[in-house]
Amino acid sequence: MAAKENADGTKRELTKRHVQMIALGGTIGTGLFLGASNSIMKTGPSILLVYLILGVIFFLMMRGIGEMMYHDPDKHTFISFIKKYLGPQIGYFAGWTYWLGIIFVAMAELTAVSKYVQFWFPTWHTWTIQLCVLAVLVAINLIAVGLFGEAEFWFAMIKITAIVVMIVVGLAMVFMNFKTPIGHASFGNITNHFSMFPNGFGSFVAAFPMVFFAFQGMEFIGITTSETQNPRKVLPKVINEIIYRVLIFYIGAILVIMAIYPWNSLDPTQSPFVQVFELAGLKAAAAVINFVVLTAAASALNSYMYSAGRHFYQLALDSPNSKFMQGFRKISRTGVPARGILFSAALVLIGPILNSLPQISNAFTFITSVSSDLYIIVYLLTMLAHRKYRESRDFDPNGFLMPGYKFTSPLVIGFFTAIYVSLFITGENVLPAIGGLVWTVGFIGILTLVGKKKKAAMNPTDID
């Protein structure tokens, strides 16, 4: 059966299995495969609590986004609701902020992809790898949204397979009381001499921003709705399954890692998956996990290209008076915002150039950190827009409602605020957090001044 075509030319080619895997692909990334060792070492067993709390908060945020998307599944991005319910200026700020955030994170992912490829081909030039990888992923995005969904399905399948295998192997080692060079695999490695905050409560608090950014990307579900077949049937099922995925793929994996490898014996510079598989006797563990993290980074980059194209298309629609943006308000014959994707990809290619210059590399790292911090602000605005939706005539009491709204909505907003405040506690996050505030205040300030000038020009008054 042919995919339904929307009024603007985009096509509903994404199926339930595509959206499910996009949700997983957006949530499970290199933060788990590479960064978990560092988080576990800093926090100890309480890292499980950090993942559980953040998993619940992100699930509730997705229920808020899902409620608005269920009401209006034709929206190309969840950012559209910020504009609708918080005003055009705030919406414009959120749109540009989120798109720029995507571009900078995509730059970082492209840099990571080249490093993973050089694990096997150290003589290959970085720029050659990055150009080829980006060209392939852009082509996937340009051909059809269904091809993008299929690529994400298989990228995510590789990641899920690696986690499931690790959990199964780990549990087998535990139940067999498997002897390793550092002891025995046992849940006693977690409970013996248990300390909830072995490195102090401050380290526990500092773990929240680290793990928060590991969940970043879950909101991509809210970008696929307008191109999903039967979204009002698919969306609730996919969002409701998020909490189970978090429990199995994050908490399950970390629980098994700490059962095999005493948490205070992990090497924070090495992937915990590599360390576990090496203890199990897999000599090629480093190569296998490098392949997995390569696909994880490629999956993230693929999703960022998809998201960037849709958001830039939406920005073009929201800029009717801009001659520059006029050409980006068109959908290609294949049903995708091709010009928005190509323009975004061209900007992503600037990242490797900046990263290769020693004078600018630190600035690039800083900007990437700022863009990640800005996601928190966009999430906050999204939840505030959800509150306005609840108060509006659009509210559908029979829709896909956020559970316990009166309690959960302020909980999520308060938690995101607390996460941003916590960035000022840890030294390495202070400058990017300040940068995020400067960007926010400066952008909205400029928009306000421009708005006042336009209003004054339209309604001139006599000056005595």
DSSP label at residue 176: T
| Consecutive H or E run containing 449 | helix 427-458
Q: What's the whole-number mean pLDDT along residues 85-105?
A: 89
Q: What's the whole-number mean pLDDT along residues 139-164?
A: 85
12 strand-pairing partners: 4
292 burial level (CB within 10 Å; 0-12, 13-18, 19+): buried
Whole-angstrom distance, CA of residue 299 vs CA of residue 218? 13
Q: Does position 3 have pLDDT exceeding 60, yes or no?
A: no
Strand, coil or helix: 12: strand
- Report which of residues 182 and 422 the model is more confident about: 422
pLDDT of residue 1: 44
pLDDT of residue 412: 96
pLDDT of residue 283: 79
| Consecutive H or E run containing 179 | strand 179-180
Q: What confidence tens digit (pLDDT) does each residue in 269-291 have? A: 778 888 888 877 877 888 888 88
- Kindly list the domain boundaries of the chain, sorted by start residue: 7-451
Q: How many CB atoms lie within 10 A of CB 322?
A: 12
| pLDDT confidence tier of residue 10, bands split at 50, 70 and 90 | low
pLDDT of residue 427: 67
- The rounded mean pLDDT for the chain is 83
| CATH number at 7-451 | 1.20.1740.10
Q: What confidence tens digit (pLDDT) does each residue in 364-391 have? A: 667 777 877 888 999 999 999 999 999 9
Closest CA to 14 of 231, 207, 170, 205: 231
Q: H helices within 28-144, ranges in order?
A: 30-33, 36-43, 47-71, 79-86, 88-117, 126-143
Cβ contacts of residue 439 below 8 Å, gap of 6+? 97, 370, 374
pLDDT of residue 464: 43
Cβ contacts of residue 364 below 8 Å, gap of 6+? 107, 351, 354, 355
| pLDDT confidence tier of residue 392, bands split at 50, 70 and 90 | very high
Q: Does position 155 have pLDDT exceeding 50, yes or no?
A: yes
| pLDDT confidence tier of residue 68, bands split at 50, 70 and 90 | very high
11 strand-pairing partners: 5
Q: How many CB atoms lie within 10 A of CB 323?
A: 7
Q: What confidence tens digit (pLDDT) does each residue in 326-368 have? A: 888 888 888 888 899 999 999 998 877 776 766 666 666 677 7
Q: How many CB atoms lie within 10 A of CB 419?
A: 21
Q: What confidence tens digit (pLDDT) does each residue in 157-210 have? A: 888 888 888 888 889 888 988 887 777 888 888 877 777 778 888 888 888 887
- Report which of residues 129 and 109 the model is more confident about: 129
pLDDT of residue 458: 67
- pTM of the predicted protein model: 0.86
Closest CA to 102 of 330, 378, 296: 378
Whole-angstrom distance, CA of residue 103 vs CA of residue 347? 7
Q: What's the whole-number mean pLDDT along residues 380-403?
A: 94
Q: Could you give the count of Cα atoms lying within 13 Å of 324 in the half-sphere of its Cβ?
A: 3
| pLDDT confidence tier of residue 2, bands split at 50, 70 and 90 | very low
In order, the DSSP letters of 26-57 are HHSSHHHHTTHHHHHHHHGGGHHHHHHHHHHH
Q: How many CB atoms lie within 10 A of CB 403?
A: 11
pLDDT of residue 25: 66
Q: Tell me the torsion sign for CA atoms 42, 48, 50, 51.
A: positive
- Percentage of the chain modeled with pLDDT above 70: 90
Strand, coil or helix: 356: helix
- Report which of residues 184 and 82 the model is more confident about: 82
Q: What confidence tens digit (pLDDT) does each residue in 284-320 have? A: 888 888 888 888 888 888 888 888 888 888 888 888 7
Number of H helices, E strands in the chain: 22, 4
**Which of 56-60, 134-138, 150-154 shows the lowest per-residue confidence on average (mean pLDDT)?**
150-154
